[in-house]
Amino acid sequence: MRKILQVKNLKKYFPIRRGILQKQAGYVKAVDGVSFDVHRGETLGLVGESGCGKTTAGRCLMRLIEPTDGEVLFGEEQIDFCQLTQAELKPYRRRIQMIFQDPYSSLNPRMTVGDIVAEPLYVNQVSNRSETEDRVVNLLESVGLQKDDMRRYPHAFSGGQRQRIGIARALALRPELIIADEPVSSLDVSIQAQILNLLEELKEEFQLSYIFIAHDLSVVEHISDRIAVMYLGRIVETNLAHEVYHHPKHPYTEALISAVPMPDPEIQRGRKRIRLEGDVPDPSNPPLGCHFHPRCGYATDICSREELRLETTTSGSEVACHLHDELSLQGI
């Protein structure tokens, strides 16, 4: 399958400044050498706890935040976004769009829904006034809204409907890749399913690829073809969604999966919840060796001594764990 995006060794370090003179005193390594590919027509789920760097990584891909280092190669042309000026980047911005987490704050309350959805079309000068109106109506209908909704303001809509407006706006320029940053985490569970189903339908209709960022593995498994699990700024496991869910290879993935509730009470009773001790370590001073070792129930001496990188295992997954071949971990 052709690749639409190749991310290589992406880093984002935020400088820490202290004192009156604001002297630099180290870095917070929010994203620390992340690499992954996205194929055309694929949904890649990017998961991890809050603060693991997944949102920062997503924003670096679009240069909404400037990466510190790395390559972001887009399309068959393999244009490196990190090497372009903002002006050079503009034509590519049409091909990669973002859906934001909070449908309440991501829409301008003073603009009508029609103007919100039409704004990218005006800014990029892709259609005249009458064409724009037709396109906006089509977009609203594609996301389950109606023509009359064009003249209403965001406050008149529920959370799920506002997220539909955000999705319509993201689709306006006919992108090839959408980065969806926790698009359902602020919605009720019943509405979450509707939005996930809508995203699946739109993927077919608009021939999209997605990077789906979330902290909830149950949501990601539902929509993803492959999953990359992040911990403390690094990817610790990548595999097909089904494999990650049923046969995790990294202890951190196992802990995330153990927290996913099962609808069947019989199955739920037979499962062991793995509670991680302590908090996520300080990303400005990460532990030596495996960053996960202070919280890992399987850690041995080697874990705190030797650095790790993602390795391809015999089963085809990519894992950053010294003991990946020896552990037998609990899936679902």
Q: How far is the CB of 241 from ligand SF4 (least distance, A)?
A: 21
Q: What's CA 329's distance to the chain center, in Å?
A: 25
Q: How far is the CB of 23 from ligand SF4 (least distance, A)?
A: 34
Of 74 and 292, the one with the shorter C-beta distance to ligand SF4 is 292
Of 12 and 250, the one with the shorter C-beta distance to ligand SF4 is 250
Contacts of 74 (CB under 8 A, 6+ apart): 4, 5, 80, 81, 92, 95, 96, 177
Q: How far is the CB of 295 from ligand SF4 (least distance, A)?
A: 8
Query: What's phi and psi for 8, nearest 5 deg?
Result: -125, 115
Query: CA-to-CA distance for 286 and 289, rounded, in angstroms?
Result: 9
Contacts of 131 (CB under 8 A, 6+ apart): none
Of 164 and 293, the one with the shorter C-beta distance to ligand SF4 is 293
Of 118 and 303, the one with the shorter C-beta distance to ligand SF4 is 303
Of 191 and 299, the one with the shorter C-beta distance to ligand SF4 is 299
Query: CA-to-CA distance for 188 and 292, rounded, in angstroms?
Result: 32
Of 25 and 302, the one with the shorter C-beta distance to ligand SF4 is 302
Query: What's phi and psi for 185, nearest 5 deg?
Result: -70, -20
Of 230 and 303, the one with the shorter C-beta distance to ligand SF4 is 303
DSSP for 84-107 reads S-HHHHHHHHTTEEEE-S-TTTSS
Q: How far is the CB of 301 from ligand SF4 (least distance, A)?
A: 10
Of 117, 11, 16, 114, give the one whose Cα is nearest residue 71.
11
Q: How far is the CB of 30 from ligand SF4 (least distance, A)?
A: 20
Of 152, 81, 156, give the one whose Cα is nearest residue 113.
152
Q: How far is the CB of 282 from ligand SF4 (least distance, A)?
A: 17
Query: What's phi and psi for 249, nearest 5 deg?
Result: -115, -15
Of 14 and 298, the one with the shorter C-beta distance to ligand SF4 is 298
Binding residues (CB under 6 A) for ligand SF4: these are: 250-251, 290, 292-293, 296, 298-299, 303, 321-323
Q: Are 178 and 210 in contact (CB under 8 A)?
A: yes
Of 98 and 280, the one with the shorter C-beta distance to ligand SF4 is 280
B/e letters for 210-222, b = 16+ CB within 10 Å, e = fewer, are bbbbbbbbbbbbb
Query: CA-to-CA distance for 101 and 106, rounded, in angstroms?
Result: 8
Distances (CA, A) of 167 to 103, 161, 183, 249: 10, 10, 9, 34
Tokens for 140? 């609203």
Q: How far is the CB of 292 from ligand SF4 (least distance, A)?
A: 5
